[in-house]
Copies of this chain bind each other. A is one copy, B any other.
Amino acid sequence: MTQPRYDVVAIGNAIVDVLAPATDAFITENGMTKGQMQLIFSPDDADALYAKMGAGQVISGGSAANTVAGMARLGSACAFIGQVADDELGDAFAHDIRAGDIRFDVAARPGQPTTGRCLVLVTPDGQRTMNTFLGASHFLPAEALDRALIADAAYLYIEGYLWDPEEPRAAMRAAIAVAKEAGRKVAFTTSAEFVIDRHRADFLRLIDDGQVDVIFANEAELVALTEATDVEAAIARLAPKVETLVVTLAEKGALAVAGGTRVTVPAEPVAAVVDTTGAGDLFAAGFLHGRTHGLDLERSLRLGAICAAEVIGHVGARPVADLKALAAQVLG
């Protein structure tokens, strides 16, 4: 097995976020659950919601894309695989990911649907309620995978969100096979409870088959995935099946279990929670950067907490501060 050229290659939704402030009443009136992500399947429904939203700002997003954006800022060598359309928002997504020194080679898809977008409503408490129209992201074909690239990365990182549409699901299964054959590790984020509810059997089979080395989940996702009675029972059931289980605990911090060792770290203090979009994505960025750069479990968790704290202090799910400087306290 040769030394990999990349730390991580991620496969995920290639979408832009449209972020706008909203009241709690707006969330309720429009039948959303605060803090959750739901899929919008019809372009008309997406347009109708957009029309009701306040003035917004467009910032590149996508869960796994946010994670590699954070890792690259920390100095990891990263690549991204995802599908945009040949339109202006697709141009913006491609520009931003390349501007972050992330390799991105998937050709834009001509015609409809448009590049995917996530309509993010940010309530005064900083929580984000997400409505995702996957658009072109839905149509990532297995042929778009660069197998040599996947074999050349220490980790393949995939997001549960992309398990929902059929074509990318097949692509991700193919990618996992390539990574495993090359002796690489697979990291998987469970993304959201609704994703787990739809694909629990798939996810558990992958884990039981030893296809997943690292799992990222929050408490609710972990319980949903295992159908355990509580978080501790869920950890006891899942931890022995993977190399590393990482559980994010929101304001309580995070924990990781690896090889029977369990480490917990507190959350990093934040001056003001402005927008929690991307908190989990950036936690994964810090943790994986640590693990691919020789840090132990505890320091990797702390780096995750630092990156998550940075991203919730401003609007948007991509880091804006100098993460390397912030990380110096852990890495130095």
Contacts and interface: CB of A to CB of B under 8 A. Distances in A.
A50 interface: yes
A55 B60 contact: yes
B320 A95 contact: no
A320 B88 CA distance: 25
A69 B89 contact: no
Interface residues of A, number: 28
Nearest to A19: B57
Interface string A294-322: 00000000000000000000011010100
A21 B58 CA distance: 16
A51 interface: yes
Nearest to A90: B88
A59 B60 contact: no
Contact of A88 (B20, B54, B87): B87
Contact of A92 (B58, B95, B96): B58
What secondary structure prevails in chain A residues at the interface with B? mixed
Contacts of A89: 88
Question: In the assembly, how many copies of this chain are there?
Answer: 2
A58 B55 contact: no
A56 interface: yes
A249 interface: no
Among A50, A55, A56, A95, residue most surrounded by chain B Cβ atoms (within 10 Å): A55
A99 interface: yes
Contacts of A266: none
Interface string A48-89: 001101111111100000000100000000000000000111
Nearest to A98: B51
A148 to B, nearest CB: 26
Contact of A96 (B21, B56, B69): B56
21 contacts: A18-B92, A51-B95, A53-B99, A54-B100, A55-B60, A55-B69, A55-B97, A55-B99, A55-B100, A55-B318, A56-B92, A56-B96, A56-B99, A57-B57, A57-B59, A58-B59, A58-B92, A87-B87, A87-B88, A88-B89, A88-B114
